[in-house]
Amino acid sequence: MTGTRQLTAQGLERKQQLFDAAAQLFAEQGYAQTRVVDIVDAAGVAKGLFYWYFENKEALFRELAADIRHKLRRTQRRAIDRNAPALAQIAQGTVASVRFMSEHASFFSLLEVEGRNVADALRRGTEQHLQDVKALIVAGQEDGSVTTDDDADLLALAVVGAVGQFSHFHRTGRVDLSLDELANYVARLVVRILTADEQVARQSIKQALRPPRR
């Protein structure tokens, strides 16, 4: 994979084959556990060919991550009704995200499971999501549907965190809800976080944090 090279139709197809094979294998057994040989074997070609289409194993992974990131973003955009109130948009985005992550579960579990180099691929993925949500929260705070007691950044983290966390729990089999139920539950949770009555919360916390008697 040196410099610029013109891929023919055949070339593109072959590249896609390798891409798909890699995606599946990574998902099944993890990045580190998948050897380049496995990928080319699965695609039924020789090892050297891998390096004709990809700089190396890591570069392939980056492409994969970028690809899924774009798909997620597109899904989110499509799910959102831009005329709805901010809070509603957040809920819609939440549902779509949970669904998407569940459908691409194998890939997201992959992200969680890998090393440093890969970890920032994950971060970059969240970064965008985070900003989108924050913007909606700010809008919600302005139109009064979202609590103003907390910083929009923190609330955005809570929302994105909830989505990611529950997707994770679902993936790892710790929630046995159906996909729809899950997505709904998370959306409800998120809305609750964003709209909750501060009175109740504040009072509880005050009592809760009274120093324990030893």
47 binds, among DNA, a second copy, none (CB under 5 to 8 A by kind): DNA
Neighbour-count burial of 197, counting CB atoms closer than 10 A to its CB (0-12 exposed, 13-18 middle, 19+ buried): exposed
Binding site for DNA (CB under 7 A): 5-12, 14, 34-37, 44-52, 56-58
Please identify, using beta-carbon distances, which residue of 47 and 77 lies nearer to DNA. 47
Please identify, using beta-carbon distances, which residue of 39 and 90 lies nearer to DNA. 39
Binds a second copy (CB under 8 A): choice among 27, 64, 68, 80: 80
Neighbour-count burial of 128, counting CB atoms closer than 10 A to its CB (0-12 exposed, 13-18 middle, 19+ buried): middle
In angstroms, give the least distance from the CB of 12 to DNA: 7
Determine the length of the chain.
214
In angstroms, give the least distance from the CB of 49 to a second copy: 27
Q: Pick the stretch among 17-25, 41-49, 61-69, 152-160 that binds a second copy (CB under 8 A).
A: 152-160
Give CA–CA dist 201/214, Å, rounded: 25
Please identify, using beta-carbon distances, which residue of 178 and 204 lies nearer to a second copy. 204
Give CA–CA dist 213/175, Å, rounded: 36
In angstroms, give the least distance from the CB of 10 to DNA: 5
In angstroms, give the least distance from the CB of 142 to DNA: 49
Give CA–CA dist 113/32, Å, rounded: 10
Please, which of residues 97-126 interact with a second copy by CB under 8 A?
112-116, 119, 123
**Is residue 152 a contact partner of residue 138, using CB atoms and an 8 Å limit?**
yes
**Cα torsion through 122, 127, 132, 134, rounded to 10:** 120
**3-state class percentages of the chain: helix first, strand second, coil last, to nearest 5:** 75, 0, 25
In angstroms, give the least distance from the CB of 57 to DNA: 4
Does residue 161 belong to the site contacting a second copy (CB under 8 A)?
Answer: yes
196 binds, among DNA, a second copy, none (CB under 5 to 8 A by kind): a second copy
